[in-house]
Chains A and B, each alone.
Chain A
């Protein structure tokens, strides 16, 4: 090489010009990064109606309205904005209507100065009325295929318009990120479900199992996780909702409770509250000779008596403590039975994982019943054995 200085110089030069950058790099400031996506039943936004009146049309059937949440609204001018005293929200929601998600996204390019990019999509909200019309498989197809959108994106449902869940009244907050962080509260109450991400959803859809997704409601710029929507496995459609308490009770059945409270009223109708420290649940399957399946759920929980409004009862007395335990047990049993009634009689779906237990414990039996499992499940007797023990009374000894 040293003998041919010209050649090595040339090589070095070629290396130099090829190493300066990426082939098709795009500056992050020049992209519209969206973190939230809401899917609604196709309904033209006022802006779109106006545009259409002025002749902006292309051939479509308006099946779906997609709203993307783009953050930050203005990345290059963010410092100036801060100097101006933070006017307006930190994000912009932009909605468009069409039939295919990708087409809608590309159509957005007609209105945006920077192309949208899905690398940071964290949260998707699907309106239940849309999920009633279209299957989840259809709605998720694009996001599962796309190379930008990561399967770590979480999926939620909304009974109202999904686009409204991507709005907040707090100025420096981004609603989609807010939703993402709200999930952390799972350890505070199991009314907050463990988030279901796209790859989990993909598995659920492929296995044709019924499942639930957390429901989000919005009022006056505030969001709340409120219960869950049920998606029926074999159709992929939304069929109904479970309340907050039902979601918590499903947590008790599956043993997925990290914390929370059980409040009940004692015999003098005063509130007493139990703080959950741990919940263990064990589902056992029984199959008789005649192939009759039954489940038995044994739930054990430990916790403390954290609030006692009844000043007549002294909880330090073992008798009173036992009584309180009984009352809590009754309360939990009532809740669990109520959700079982909903699942077995009202909706006829198994979303509490009984099928998985049968599959793992008795694969041969499962093979026979799996085709019409949701219906068969609704006829299967489930018994409960719920045991709560109060281990301490907190820092107040009375």
Chain B
């Protein structure tokens, strides 16, 4: 068997890993979030622009991580700014990952309870999810990456299939006029588009696991471009299919798009159910990424055994999932995660890079 014990992943796997980390609940809510802010049909421009900014962010993270081969952010932050401040930054990052992990499961549970499993209690969805997730995370990065390689093509195929069928209600006029109010609304929309890319911070741990770290940049840019393209497609298809006004009023616009037409005679007459079921796997991957990164962080920061870290985090994730009571709170948590992402970005990669450059170039220190 191909049993690898060296905890290394290939370049391709790394790209898939990043894609699966970023691509998650955002697909279901992004069109509404961004259209609410933009208020013109130019939302798709915001997505493209936001994606470009995120690629720059990823570039910075990769460059920083490449300075410390084989080291994750939890390890090199200590080397750059010292044990205590570095530990503090790592803990921030861990908390951030835990909150996103909880958020992803919560969104998944809410959608499933509303559309698929009416009457099933929320814990019956959340708890098995966390358990199965921990089983996967137990194996370390290799099994995770291999599972992702299986899941991603399936979920991509279904998402694209759904979009192809939604072409029957697509109207290009819904996307016009372009830039009717100038570039300002597009800039406003950036806020919510950058938010859907939150989670790309895993780049800072991922680079350490690469078999060929010199190819990291390529892998990560590919890994972030796939979700970028898909988010772009989603926004175009949803606004084109539903019109801007209908998108703003739907809680789950992407699902509403699928619910707006029926295909008699096709294998599935209603596409929202297969899409939701398949997307559940995608959200599972999403969750596992954050779970893995958080556990890895805990074990590296506190010197715990990796397995104990996983067990310790299970209840915390459960609490973080169940904390929001209302749906509105879940959505505002989503927004809050986006802002946290920005703060984390300033605090971790930017701050670390600045300190690193000062120490290396300015003070000629050997970090």
Chain A contacts to B: CB under 8 angstroms:
22-24, 144, 147, 150-152, 197-200, 202-207, 356, 359-361, 363-364, 366-367
Contacts and interface: CB of A to CB of B under 8 A. Distances in A.
Contact of B117 (A24, A203, A207, A356): A24
B261 interface: yes
A202 B262 CA distance: 18
Contacts, number: 71
Interface string B90-121: 00000000000000000000000011011111
Contacts of B115: 147
A129 to B, nearest CB: 27
B7 interface: no
A384 B185 CA distance: 36
Nearest to A201: B246
Interface in B270-316: 270
B260 A152 contact: yes
Nearest to A202: B246
B214 interface: no
B221 to A, nearest CB: 35
Contacts of B120: 23-24
Contact of A363 (B180, B243, B261): B180
A258 to B, nearest CB: 15
A359 B262 CA distance: 30
Given A151-B260, A360-B173, A200 B243 contact: yes
Given A24-B119, A363-B180, A200 B270 contact: no
B259 A202 contact: no
Given A147-B114, A199-B260, A363-B181, 11 more contacts: A22-B117, A150-B260, A152-B262, A199-B250, A200-B260, A202-B246, A203-B242, A203-B246, A206-B246, A207-B243, A359-B180
A23 B173 CA distance: 44
A91 B141 CA distance: 58
- Interface secondary structure of A, over-half rule: helix
Interface residues of B, number: 29
A361 B244 CA distance: 17
A200 B246 contact: yes
Contacts of A24: 117-120
B124 interface: yes
Interface string B162-190: 00000000000100110011000000000
Contacts of B119: 23-24
21 contacts: A22-B117, A23-B119, A23-B124, A24-B117, A147-B114, A147-B118, A150-B259, A151-B256, A197-B260, A199-B256, A199-B259, A200-B246, A202-B246, A202-B249, A203-B247, A204-B245, A206-B245, A360-B176, A361-B177, A363-B177, A366-B180
Interface in B104-145: 114-115, 117-121, 124
B180 A206 contact: no
A93 B216 CA distance: 65
Interface string B247-260: 11110000011011
A285 to B, nearest CB: 12
Nearest to B243: A203
A361 B173 CA distance: 11
A152 B242 CA distance: 11
Interface in B223-270: 242-250, 256-257, 259-262, 270
